[in-house]
Structure 1
Amino acid sequence: MDLKLEAIVLPVSDVDRAKDFYDRLGFRLDVDQTFSDDYRLVHFTPPGSGCSILFGNGMTSAEPGSAQGLYLIVPDIEQARAEIGGRGVEVSEAFHDEGGVLFHGHEGGTVTHRGTGQKRLDGPHPERATYCSYASFTDPDGNGWVLQEITERFPGR
């Protein structure tokens, strides 16, 4: 049986502000419907994505800004940074992990994950190895997005 991730609910404090942000980011608006005074659904899909985001009034009890580590996969980290920055969104400089593994702790510094120390280094991975270069940004509420450069998928993907 196939299981496909279809949508992620984002906790936001101001629906119209979030709607403006994701529209400016270039996400496609699929639905904006008010069902009652306390229930409004806004549905966006990132370009090329099979998974969408949902937010609105009455959608979640999670604290605004508490969604972190939301990955957007891009073929070229520098091009993605330039395009997103050109849309008026503050995006970090590219970074990579000293050991070339999936970086955890996108806020910077050194972290330990399963006993493996990781150190965030400035710039894209020096060899531009697939899965190894990142950049990050947040929406107006602080929900955290990570751009990850993938040029070639691992087998089985």
Structure 2
Amino acid sequence: MELKLEMIVLPVSDTGRAKAFYEKAGFRLDVDYEAGKDVRVVHFTPPGSECSIIFGEGMTPITPGSLQGLYLIVSDIEEARAELTGRGIEVSEIFHDAGGLFHGHEGGDVTHRRPGQERLAGPHPERASYASFATFSDPDGNGWVLQEITQRLPGR
């Protein structure tokens, strides 16, 4: 059986503001559909992704900004960060973790960090795949993680 993740519903408080942010970030607008004053569906796809995001009025009861740890995989963390900051998106400095795969952002937008795990500045010194990160948040605080993967693990 094949199961493919197709879409993630983002909880946002202002559909227009979220749409402007994701356009600015370079995501592809696939749909912006209104069905009356209480229903609006906006659908975006990150560049190169098969999984999309969707948000709008009447979409989800989840608190705006409560989704964290949404991973965007990049082949060059420095290039990806430069592209986003060049588009006016506020992105953390690049970091890696001392001794592990789990990480977090000091601003609180990514929280899967083990106790005592230290975040170190800059990309991983050996540029190991899966080991360098940067984070950003949308206007509501939904937290995104850029993760550099240059060589996937077997079977991935």
TM-score tier, shorter chain, comes to: over 0.9
Cα deviation digits, residues 65-85 of structure 1 (max 9, x gap): 101000000001100010000
Residue in 2 that maps onto 1:150: 149
Distance, in Å, in 2 between the alignment partners of 1:102 and 1:12 is: 29
Residue in 1 that maps onto 2:42: 42
Distance 1:112 1:46, change over 3 A: closer
Distance, in Å, in 1 between the alignment partners of 2:96 and 2:27 is: 26
Distance, in Å, in 2 between the alignment partners of 1:154 and 1:3 is: 19
Whether the 8 Å CA contact 2:103–2:119 is kept in 1: the answer is no
Q: TM-score, normalised by structure 1?
A: 0.93
Cα deviation digits, residues 3-60 of structure 1 (max 9, x gap): 0000000011110010000001110000000112211100000000000000000001
Residue in 2 that maps onto 1:92: 92
Whether the 8 Å CA contact 1:93–1:123 is kept in 2: the answer is yes
Amino acid across the alignment from 1:64? P
Residue in 1 that maps onto 2:134: 135
Distance, in Å, in 2 between the alignment partners of 1:104 and 1:128 is: 16
Identity score, percent: 72
Structure 1 stretches of at least 4 aligned residues deviating more than 4 Å after TM superposition: none
Residue in 1 that maps onto 2:67: 67
Amino acid across the alignment from 1:44? F
Distance 1:142 1:108, change over 3 A: closer
Distance, in Å, in 2 between the alignment partners of 1:121 and 1:108 is: 14
RMSD: 1.8
Whether the 8 Å CA contact 2:96–2:122 is kept in 1: the answer is yes
Residue 36 of structure 1: SS of its match in structure 2? coil
Q: How many residues align?
A: 154
Whether the 8 Å CA contact 1:8–1:54 is kept in 2: the answer is yes
Whether the 8 Å CA contact 1:43–1:53 is kept in 2: the answer is yes
1:112 Cα offset (Å) = 5.7
Q: Which runs of 5+ in 2 are unaligned?
A: none
Distance 1:128 1:30, change over 3 A: same
Q: TM-score, normalised by structure 2?
A: 0.93
Whether the 8 Å CA contact 1:97–1:132 is kept in 2: the answer is yes
